[in-house]
Amino acid sequence: MKSKDLICENLSVGENGRLLFAGHDTELLAKKYGTPVYLLDEDRIRQRCRTYLQAMKKAFGCKGKVLYASKAASFKRIYEIMNEEGMGIDVVSSGEIYTVLRAGYPLQNAYFHSNNKTDEDVSFAMENGIGYFVVDNEEELFAIQTEAERRNINQKILLRITPGIDPHTYMAVSTGKVDSKFGSAIETGAAEKITRLSLEQKNISLMGFHCHVGSQVFDSEVYLRAADVMLSFIADIKAKTGYEAKELDLGGGYGVRYVSEQPVIDIAENILSVGDFIKEKCMSLGILLPYIALEPGRSIVADAGLTLYTVGSVKKIPGYKNYVSVDGGMTDNVRFAMYGSPYTILPALDMNLPREMRCSVVGRCCESGDIIQNNVPLPDSIKRGDILACLTTGAYHYSMASNYNRIPRPPIVMLSANGNYIAVKRETFEDLTHLEV
């Protein structure tokens, strides 16, 4: 019987008890590349892209778009994969745009988000032919108009709208989240105002609207509610101004499993039900079906990722607590420290041993909050030199990694049916000082 801890189908156990990831022996990978190391299952990433693309096509025909929210994991190879899979992308900074360009990804398929684009960002993105700006606020709208006029071009934009939905308390609170730092709220009239202003700008083509209700969302009702509010807004704007949006981007956010207690979301089925709802709603409101975009980040890459660590000290404090220290920590995984996120951590060398010891798996930073997970069941025999695997680390790990305590960032190793290869090299000590004069 498959252990309940094997929370994604790319995990299995070999005859020798070794944890296999994407069919690869994790001990051999640890030996070959060293630890800590981020592993990324390329086939899983491609499979997730295809699931989204096919479902969006089924739901909306040629009017469905899928943009990979690249803040989840941004490096050259991932943009190449997105290009090969026919995915659009969402970027949030000039640094991500630069990486996109270095990967040879066509920037006209990119949407530039963020709540505060600097003049330099606006200019850099336009210079390189960004597809869309997703405009957050009025100052930004004017900055984009000014730059587009200077360049004598017409710039496509979406407006980021705050629909007033709390993704976690949707049933009880349907007008929450107006206080977000992102976007312009419908409830306050700011959304209508920025829409009217956009329509007045000579060098701007308003293509439609965007919203994003949250991340790690398991309640699919949230998307129906967001679509409901946004389509009603589109109809309201049409009635008031005659402008009919051509595009509606519903953001990202589908949740993934970090632990077995979390559900598996059937993305394809969810998209189809959102699709049915949207088509009916458009009919009843008397508006044309706009292009519909989704922007998944986490659900494209999260469970394609796994981090391998080597155990250092094992400290048992009788009557209190046990600690297992690893050679990484909050520098490669800050998500427990930041969000208290749950994780599954497995003894990669022998999955068949009973796991009767409870411990905190901690990093090697000078900070007591440097914890990867508390209350982890591991074999009592766990010792220095053993390998631990932390699951579901493909999203928001490499992209949020730091050099705190001057710890070099781990490499990213891609796994596929044909083998494994380095996509991002391990940082060296030289890298740590190379900007210093």
Nearest-approach distance from CB 180 to ligand LLP, in angstroms: 10
366 a catalytic residue? yes
- Cβ atoms 224, 276 nearer than 8 A: no
CB of 270 to ligand LLP, least distance (A): 13
**Euclidean distance between the first and the last CA atom of the chain, given in angstroms as a whole number:** 58
Which CB sits closer to ligand LLP, 342 or 377? 342
Q: Which residue number, 63 or 71, has a Cβ lying nearer to ligand LLP?
A: 71
Left, alpha or beta for 404 (phi > 0: left; psi -120 to 50: alpha)?
Answer: beta
**Residue whose CB is less far from ligand LLP, 19 or 345:** 345
Read off the tokens for 405.
């305590």
**Least distance from C-beta 314 to ligand LLP, angstroms?**
28
* Annotated catalytic residue, options 8, 282, 366, 390: 366
**Minimum gap (Å) between residue 133 Cβ and ligand LLP:** 13
Min dist. Cβ of residue 334 to ligand LLP (A): 8
In the complex, the smallest distance separating the C-beta of residue 21 from ligand LLP, rounded to whole angstroms, is 21
State the Cα–Cα distance between residues 73 and 393, nearest whole angstrom.
10
Which residue, 40 or 69, has its beta carbon nearer to ligand LLP? Answer: 69
Which residue number, 29 or 122, has a Cβ lying nearer to ligand LLP?
Answer: 122
For residue 136, the minimal CB distance to ligand LLP (Å) is 10
Chain residues that interact with ligand LLP, rule: CB under 6 A: 69, 72, 90, 113, 212, 215-216, 251-253, 295-299, 335, 339, 396
Q: Is 286 left (phi over 0), alpha (psi -120 to 50) or beta?
A: left
**Whose Cβ is closer to ligand LLP: residue 208's or residue 296's?**
296
CA angle 260, 264, 267 (to 5 degrees): 160
When the beta carbons of 214 and 290 are compared against ligand LLP, the nearer one is 214
Residue numbers annotated as active site: 366
